[in-house]
Amino acid sequence: MDIHLDGYRVFVVTARERSFSKAAEALFITQPAVSHAIKQLEERLGGALFFRTSRGVKLTVEGEMLYRYLEQAFQLVSEAEQKLTEMHSLQSGVVRVGASDTLCRYYLLPYLESFHLHYPEVKLHVTNRTSQETVKLLKDGKIDFGIINLPYEDSQLTVWQGSKLQEVFIAGSKYAALKDQQVTPKQLAAYPLILLEKGSNMRRLIDAYFQSHKIRLEPEFELGSMDLLIQFAKAGLGIACVTAEFATEELASGGLFALQLAPKPPHRHIGIVTLKDVPLSHAAQTMLNTLLQPISEAPKLP
C-alpha cells in the first residue's frame, strides 16, 4: 500500500488545530497547501474527513476514526525516533559478545567493566563458548562479535588481531629442581603434563610444537579450563601448559614458576571477529572500537 505520510501529517495537525489556517502556521506552509493536501486525501480515501462550522473545521465520523489511529501511529513514530536518539547517544542499546571462559575472565572483563561504567544504560550480554562455537554464534546472528584465539581463517569474517599471548609450562614446588634449568621439549615430555583438552587453538599449537620436535605427547591430564590447569599444577599433579598473560598472579605469588623451555613455543594472538558487510549497532561498534585500542592503551591483564 502506498502510504502518503505527508498528507496524513497535514490531516493530523489540522484535526488537532481545528483550523486550516492554524494548521498552515504550525506546518510552515500556506493555507491553500493545507486545503489541497486534505482534498487529495479525501479523494484517495473516498469520503469527507472534515466539515466546516462557525468555529472552524470539525472531523466527520470517518475522520474521527482515522484521527484516532493516526495519532497513535505518529506517536509510535515519535517514540521510535526517540529510541534511535537514545541508542545513538548510548542511553540504551544492547551489546552481545561471545568469548571463552578464559578470554572473558582475563581479557574481556576489564573492557566490560569500563564500558558499563561509561554507558550504564547499555545492556551487555556475554555468551561463553569455545572459539569454534563463538564463530557459529556469530554466523547465526546471535552475537555482534566474538573474542577468539587466533589463528583463525574464514572468508566470511573480518578478523582483528589483538594482544599477543605466550604459552608457558608452569609447576609447583614438587618440581623445584627444574626452576633454574633450561629444559628441552624432549626432557619436558618425560614429565606428567597437564594440557587443555583437544580441539582448542592452544592445544593444537602445543601439539604442533612438540610434533615439530618429533615428540608425540601423552598428557597425564586433559582439562577444560585454564583455571583447572593452574589448580592441578598447584596441587603438584604435573606440569601444566598455560598462557603466561593469564597466570601472572599465580606466578608472581611464588606458588608456581615458569619453566625455561628452549626453544619457546610460538606465540599467538587474541582475535576479534565480526561478520563481513554486516553493520553493527552504535553500541556494539563503540564497544568494538574500545577493544581495538592499541595494547598500550588497553586495560592491563591481571
Question: For 35-58, how does the pLDDT look when each residue is reduced to its tens digit (9 = 90+)?
Answer: 999 999 999 999 999 999 888 899
Mean pLDDT of 210-237: 94
Handedness of CA 55, 61, 66, 68 (dihedral sign): positive
Q: How far apart (Å, rounded) are the C-alpha atoms in residues 226 and 101?
A: 9
Q: What's the pLDDT at 2?
A: 59
Q: Is the pLDDT reported for residue 298 higher than 50?
A: no
Q: What's the pLDDT at 294?
A: 52
CATH topology of domain 94-160+274-297: D-Maltodextrin-Binding Protein; domain 2 (3.40.190)
Q: Judge whether 78 and 71 are in contact, CB under 8 Å.
A: no
Radius of gyration of the chain (CA): 32
Q: Answer whether 94-160+274-297 and 167-266 agree in fold.
A: yes
Task: Determine phi and psi for 242, rounding to 5 degrees.
Answer: -135, 170
Cell 513514530, located at residue: 77
Find the range with the poorest average confidence among 13-17, 76-80, 84-88, 164-168.
84-88
Q: Judge whether 158 and 127 are in contact, CB under 8 Å.
A: no
Q: What is the CATH number of domain 5-88?
A: 1.10.10.10
Report the CATH architecture of 167-266: 3-Layer(aba) Sandwich (3.40)
Other CB atoms closer than 10 Å to residue 182's CB: what's the count? 10
**What kind and span of H or E run contains 116?**
helix 109-118
Q: Is the pLDDT reported for residue 3 higher than 80?
A: no
Domain ranges of the chain: 5-88, 94-160+274-297, 167-266
C-alpha cell at 2: 502506498
Q: Judge whether 170 and 250 are in contact, CB under 8 Å.
A: yes
Cell 565480526, located at residue: 274
